[in-house]
Amino acid sequence: MDALHWWRQGDAVTQGTALILLAMSVASWVVIVWKLRLMRRATTDVARCTAAFWQAPSLDLASQRLQSFDREALVLPLVAAAYSIASEPSPSEHASLATAGGLPQRLTRVLRNALHEVLGRLQYGQVLLATVGSTAPFVGLLGTVWGIFHALTAMAGAGQITIDKVSGPVGEALVMTAAGLAVAIPAVLAYNVFGRLIGRVEADLEGFARDLRELILDTSAHKP
The span from the CA of 17 to the CA of 199, in Å, is 35
The span from the CA of 172 to the CA of 176, in Å, is 8
Mean pLDDT of 84-95: 62
The number of beta carbons lying within 10 Å of the beta carbon of residue 28 is: 24
- Decide: 86 and 220 in contact? Cβ < 8 Å: yes
Query: Is the pLDDT reported for residue 132 higher than 90?
Result: yes
- Amino acid 79: pLDDT: 87
The number of beta carbons lying within 10 Å of the beta carbon of residue 119 is: 16
HEC string for 165-187: HHHHHHHHHHHHHHHHHHHHHHH
pLDDT per residue over 161-205, tens digit each?
666 566 666 777 788 888 899 999 999 999 999 999 999 999 999
Which candidate, 128, 140, 91, 106, places its Cα nearest to that of 217?
Answer: 106
Amino acid, single-letter form, for residue 192: N
> How much helix, strand and coil, in percent to the nearest 5, is found in the chain?
85, 0, 15
Query: Is the pLDDT reported for residue 81 higher than 80?
Result: yes
Provide the whole-model pTM. Answer: 0.81
The DSSP code for 162 is: -
